[in-house]
Amino acid sequence: MLFSKTKKLNDNDLLAFNNLNNLLGQEKYKAILIQNNTAVIPMGRQVMRQQEAIVALVEQGRDDWIRATLSKYEVSKGIKVKIDGKTGEITEAGPSDDILKELELKQIQEKQANG
């Protein structure tokens, strides 16, 4: 373990982390809806490309925020971590963890469970 002590996001950073992930999930959901309905949307393919670009921008912004925030918590660059969306606890990721995909899957499952 590379962490000498448990690290945890403060309340403001945890709120921002969850808000950014929710925003990204919403934009991805819109992209899927548009992609599956291009025929009924005027200029559907163009709108789809625009929404995909928005998703990429939001994702890049979220990733930049995560990197900057982790450096504030003295997490070295290159160390893969998981951030618990409920507690804010920062833990090292295992070698086979894909942090962002795992987080996105968890959020999708929570949204489906909550209706």
- Residue 101's pLDDT is 63
Tokens standing for residue 6 = 């448990």
pLDDT reading at 9 higher than 80 = yes
Tokens standing for residue 113 = 């469970």
What is the average pLDDT score of the chain? 87
Closest by CA to 91, choosing from 77, 78, 79, is 79
7-16, 72-81, 93-102, range with greatest mean pLDDT: 7-16
Listing from the earlier edge strand, what are the strands of the sheet with 81-83? 7-8, 89-92, 81-83
pLDDT reading at 97 higher than 60 = no
CA distances from 19 to 68, 93, 94 (A): 16, 22, 25
> Mean pLDDT across the stretch 88-109?
71
- Residue 1's pLDDT is 46
- Residue 93's pLDDT is 79
Instruction: Give the pLDDT confidence of 19-74 residue by residue, as tens digits.
Output: 999 999 999 999 999 999 999 999 999 999 999 999 999 999 999 999 999 999 99
CB 31 within 8 A of CB 48: yes
pLDDT reading at 77 higher than 90 = no
**What whole-number distance in Å separates Cα of residue 13 and Cα of residue 27?**
21
**What whole-number distance in Å separates Cα of residue 115 and Cα of residue 17?**
22
Tokens standing for residue 17 = 């982390």
